Amino acid sequence: MPANKQTGQKRVGDGRPGPGRPKGSVNKIGKEAKEVIALAAEGLGGAERLLVWAKAAPENEKAFWATIYPKLLPLTVAGDKDNPLQTVSKIILTDLE
């Protein structure tokens, strides 16, 4: 895309990313979606109902540990030079009985 004749700057859409949201601003749609999902979860019985579901069958408990619980873990994990992080390359879930 051609440069702006007055400033010499390229315009949005020239292949470079635009300015995006300001750093630290909240994604309103994501926040609203999370609130709606939380309300629905409460309406369906909340934590008590989730616990009943997880205990109802071994595959439910496995699904809880494999897909639901990890969503609570931080996305970025940091270590330091005195206490380096230990990494796990593979997790194998087996029967929990």
The residue that leads in pLDDT, 34 or 9, is 34
Of 10-19, 50-59, 78-87, which gets the smallest average pLDDT? Answer: 10-19
pTM: 0.50
Asked if residue 18 has pLDDT above 80, the reply is no
pLDDT for 24-75, tens place per residue? 887 788 889 989 999 999 999 999 999 999 999 999 999 999 999 988 887 7
DSSP state of 37: H
Answer yes or no: are the C-beta atoms of 79 and 85 closer than 8 Å: yes
Instruction: Give the DSSP letter string of 50-81.
Output: HHHHHHH-HHHHHHIIIIIGGGGS-S-----S
